[in-house]
Amino acid sequence: MPSERSTLTGMQSFDLRLNNISGELPIERSTRTNITTFNMYDNNISGELPIERSTWINLEDFYIASNNISGELPSEWSTWTSIRELQMSENNISGELPSEWTGFVDIVYFFMSDNNISGELPSERSNRTKMINIDLSDNNISGELPSERSNWINLNGFGASNNNISGELPSERSTWTGLNGFIVSENNISGELPSEWSTRNSLYRFEAI
């Protein structure tokens, strides 16, 4: 990708999805502080995620799924406080989920499946009450399912299959009354199915085997 594009300071939307673009994301410090949408889904982009993108303080939608991106998730991106959709599945991203990202209070869709994410799910109380769908399947996540996620009252789908998650299913998840899909199969979860989950009339797909 040509670094000269960094002079397009007034650009708000950048969409080159479904192409054969290769190379790395430019690392020079970006002055495109007005950009709200960045979409390079399904290309051949490689390299690591530039911390210099922390200047995109108005970013709302970020799509880089189905590429060859590696490295860790930059904690510096915590400045993306307006982010709503973060879709980074099907890459080679490693490391842990940055605890600094808990400030993403407006996020609705968080897709990070098919990577090499490790560590535990952050246990601090989350204020992301707008979350609708989160998918962390096919990674190396360990630890237990945090009970602090009980305030995700708008959650529709939760996926974390094929990881190394252990412990029991938290009864606090009974507040997810709009949940349609809960998929945590191929883990090391134990214990009994909490009786509090029996009120979930909307749930049509449940996998924990």
E-state strands within the chain = 13-15, 22-24, 37-39, 44-48, 61-63, 68-72, 85-87, 92-96, 109-111, 116-120, 133-135, 140-144, 157-159, 164-168, 181-183, 188-190, 205-207
Q: d(Cα 174, Cα 180) in Å, to the nearest integer?
A: 13
Question: Is a pLDDT exceeding 60 seen at residue 6?
Answer: no
Cβ atoms of 1 and 23 within 8 Å: the answer is yes
Cβ atoms of 121 and 98 within 8 Å: the answer is no
Q: What is the pLDDT of residues 154-208, one digit of tens each?
A: 889 999 999 999 998 888 766 777 888 989 999 999 988 877 776 666 777 777 7
Q: How many residues does the chain have?
A: 209
Tokens, residue 191: 């214990």
Q: What is the pLDDT of residues 35-86, one digit of tens each?
A: 999 999 999 999 999 998 898 999 999 999 999 999 999 999 999 999 999 9
Question: Is a pLDDT exceeding 90 seen at residue 143?
Answer: yes
Q: Count Cβ neighbours within 10 Å for each residue of 51-68 and write b for 16 or more, e otherwise.
A: ebbbbbeebbbbbbbbbe
Higher pLDDT, 146 or 116: 116
**Average pLDDT value over all residues in the chain:** 87
Long-range contacts of 130-133 (CB under 8 A, 24+ apart): 130/105, 130/106, 130/154, 131/107, 131/155, 132/108, 132/156, 132/157, 133/108, 133/109, 133/157, 133/158
Q: What is the pLDDT of residues 93-117, one digit of tens each?
A: 999 999 888 888 899 999 999 999 9
Report the alpha-carbon angle 30-35-38, nearest 5.
95
pLDDT score of 173? 66
pTM > 0.75: yes
pLDDT score of 81? 92
3-207 has CATH 3.80.10.10 classification = yes
Higher pLDDT, 157 or 151: 157
Question: Is a pLDDT exceeding 70 seen at residue 28?
Answer: no
Quick one: pLDDT band at residue 122, thresholds 50, 70, 90?
confident
Q: d(Cα 92, Cα 163) in Å, to the nearest integer?
A: 15
pLDDT score of 62? 97
